[in-house]
Amino acid sequence: MPQRAASNHVRLGLFVLVGVAILLVTLFLLGRQQNLFSRSLVVQADFRSVSGLLTGNNVRLGGIPVGTVRKIQILNDTTVRVAMNLNRDVQPFVRKNAVATIGTDGLVGNTIINLVASPGPAPAVQAGDVLRTKVPVGIEAILGTLDISNRNLVGITHNLREITGKLNGSTSVWQLLNDEQLPINVRHSLRNVETATAHLDAASRDVLALTRGVRRGKGPAGYLFTDTAFGGRLGHAARQLAGTSDTLAATIGTLKQQLRTEAGPLNTLLVDTAFGRNMRQTMQNVNEGTRGFSQNMEALKHNFLLRGYFRRQQKKQARAALEQGGDSSAAR
């Protein structure tokens, strides 16, 4: 048996000790990292999906690792129960109302559990507690929503393209927009309306003068008041006149507003080729109507004046002349 130097044994011992010590320290550190050796607290949480969580994944509170996933088991077809080991040190900071969510460490990193504190006071968590959970915003869900949005966007742009196509193809809109006659006509009819109201004004002043004469009770007006049939006919005519002028004023007001706001029926009218023509026709009719009305008022004025003349000059034939004037006014 050869004699081996004792120093060889010392070196060998050192060599082995260092190697084994490194292994033991490594295993101890890993164990502490995974909470194998320290006393830990087991809490649970139920999820619908754990998104690939594995036993040993980290549990974080406020971004700090505070424990690891100890066990994952399926409770039923929609529930997965995850048991977590939490360090005893963090027990005071995890409240019973904390919410557990599944997350990932970075975009492509490990799946982890995040514990998020909820507002409101609650006692510290105890062993065996089941924490509330929140469905996480998974990348898949985000992508799903994005898909729907995209499909909607496709529909919207499709519709937009159709509208612009129609607008480009429609001649009536462009005609209407390009028609220089229209505003002139409108302006023209407005001027006619103005003259018509001026005449109305004059007519009503005449009526005023007439009623004054009546009040004095002299002349033909006195007689007029005695004749009840004539009075009723005159009231009727005056009422009709007022109604006509009211309608006209309303029509003009509406027309003005429509021109100013371009809202309401005008939009729907834009696509109607026939309407453009009708509109112009109508404006012309209105024009003519008001002109005719103006002439009628003129004639009425003359009628009254003539009749006043006749009264003063032919006193004896008053009733016959009055009947003739009443007929002519009624015909109006």
- Is residue 33 involved in binding another protein (CB under 8 A)? yes
Q: Is 275 helix (H, G, I), strand (E, B) or coil?
A: helix
Taking a C-beta distance cutoff of 8 angstroms, is the pair 122, 95 a contact? yes
- Is residue 74 involved in binding another protein (CB under 8 A)? no
| Sole binder of another protein in the list 26, 73, 78, 296 (CB under 8 A) | 26
For CA atoms 30, 36, 37, 40, the dihedral sign is: positive
Distance CA 294, CA 197 (A): 9
DSSP alpha helix (H) spans, 85-227: 139-169, 171-178, 181-216, 219-226
Q: Is 122 helix (H, G, I), strand (E, B) or coil?
A: coil
Which region among 2-10, 142-150, 158-166, 180-188 touches another protein (by CB under 8 A)?
2-10
Distance CA 32, CA 48 (A): 30
Which region among 26-34, 87-95, 217-225, 248-256 touches another protein (by CB under 8 A)?
26-34
The site that binds another protein (CB under 8 A) totals a number of residues, namely 23
Task: Compute the least distance from the CB of residue 3 to another protein, in Å.
Answer: 7
Task: Compute the least distance from the CB of residue 88 to another protein, in Å.
Answer: 21
> Amino acid identity, residue 311?
R
Task: Compute the least distance from the CB of residue 18 to another protein, in Å.
Answer: 7
Task: Compute the least distance from the CB of residue 112 to another protein, in Å.
Answer: 12
Which region among 19-27, 153-161, 203-211, 292-300 touches another protein (by CB under 8 A)?
19-27
- Is residue 27 involved in binding another protein (CB under 8 A)? yes
Nearer to another protein by Cβ, of 74 and 238: the residue is 74
SS3 content of the chain, % helix, strand, coil (to 5): 65, 15, 20
- Is residue 169 involved in binding another protein (CB under 8 A)? no
Measured in residues, the chain has a length of 332
| Sole binder of another protein in the list 3, 150, 226, 261 (CB under 8 A) | 3
Nearer to another protein by Cβ, of 26 and 78: the residue is 26
Task: Compute the least distance from the CB of residue 19 to another protein, in Å.
Answer: 3
Phi and psi at residue 129, to the nearest 5°: -65, 150
Taking a C-beta distance cutoff of 8 angstroms, is the pair 203, 302 a contact? no
Which region among 8-16, 148-156, 158-166, 282-290 touches another protein (by CB under 8 A)?
8-16
Which region among 23-31, 74-82, 179-187, 287-295 touches another protein (by CB under 8 A)?
23-31
Distance CA 85, CA 36 (A): 9
How many CB atoms within 10 Å of residue 43? 26
Residue 173 tokens read as: 């809109």
Binding site for another protein (CB under 8 A): 1-4, 8-9, 11-12, 15-16, 18-20, 22-23, 26-27, 29-31, 33-34, 56
